[in-house]
Amino acid sequence: AAGVIQSPRHLIKEKRETATLKCYPIPRHDTVYWYQQGPGQDPQFLISFYEKMQSDKGSIPDRFSAQQFSDYHSELNMSSLELGDSALYFCASTISGVNEQFFGPGTRLTVL
Amino acid sequence: AQSVSQHNHHVILSEAASLELGCNYSYGGTVNLFWYVQYPGQHLQLLLKYFSGDPLVKGIKGFEAEFIKSKFSFNLRKPSVQWSDTAEYFCASQPGRRALTFGSGTRLQVQP
């Protein structure tokens, strides 16, 4: 069965650079969630989208923005990267009305 | 704000020992509950979930969890652990169909 796809899987950036992470949900899933998991930390919710509109907002820094496109894929844009942004970024998708979220493999971002 | 507490941060067991990992959530309303497992370097995998109905839920790999509403608890159990169960385990709560709130995780180390 198709799963959530995230790209790239690994990304290395310098401080103050920008990064774009992509998430391709399971086909027919209309809702996407972004989570950030720092080293040794639990995943923290950043932001979610339903039908291309922001549906909920968590602890997403102002330096980050995200959107969901017409094909339901989502992109997380990160600017002015800081060392503390080094983390595993997970995307999860679901169909509206279904509670279970399906997680992607994550993008490991390292900021040097 | 809702929160999830996992009181056992690091558990070391021998193979064939029984496992119980504690999880308490704070949300007072209707809540969905999950246990996820994360093997080293890998993404979150769903072990089991509780939405409603029978409070004893069975998941994959021989895991089960019991929802006790009066105690706001959703403890994970396995009668006999294997070396391959070595991983980090996250409990998560979800009010309605919103984002997940994760506990801080329990690192399980099973010694052969």
Contact assignment for B44 to A56 by CB distance below 8 Å: no
Task: Give me the pLDDT at residue A2, please.
Answer: 78
Task: Give me the pLDDT at residue B109, please.
Answer: 97
Q: Please compute the mean of the pLDDT values over residues B62-89 and round it to a whole number.
A: 95
- Determine the Cα–Cα distance for residues B55 and B67; give it in Å rounded to an integer: 5
How close A15 comes to chain B (CA, Å)?
Answer: 24
Task: Give me the pLDDT at residue B80, please.
Answer: 97
Q: Does the pLDDT value for residue A1 go beyond 90?
A: no
Measured CB to CB, residues of chain A less than 8 Å from chain B are 33, 35, 41-45, 48, 56, 58, 90, 92, 94, 96-106
- The domains found in chain B, sorted by start residue, are 4-111 (2.60.40.10)
Residue with structure tokens 């895991």?
Answer: B63
- Determine the Cα–Cα distance for residues A90 and A32; give it in Å rounded to an integer: 10
Beta bridge partners of B25: B4
Task: Give me the pLDDT at residue B66, please.
Answer: 96
Task: Give me the pLDDT at residue B96, please.
Answer: 74
Contact assignment for A41 to B104 by CB distance below 8 Å: yes
The residue range of the domain holding A104 is: 5-111
Task: Give me the pLDDT at residue B7, please.
Answer: 86
Residue A31: give its domain's CATH number. Answer: 2.60.40.10
How close B34 comes to chain A (CA, Å)?
Answer: 9
- Determine the Cα–Cα distance for residues B33 and A25; give it in Å rounded to an integer: 22
Nearest-CB residue to A45 (from B32, B99, B105) = B99
- Of A81-90, A96-105, B103-112, the poorest mean pLDDT is in A96-105
At A34 the three-state DSSP class reads strand
What would the pLDDT profile of B13-70 be if each residue is shown by its tens digit? 999 999 999 999 987 678 899 999 999 888 889 999 999 899 999 999 999 999 999 9
Q: Helix and strand tally (H, E) in chain B? A: 0, 12
Number of domains in chain A: 1
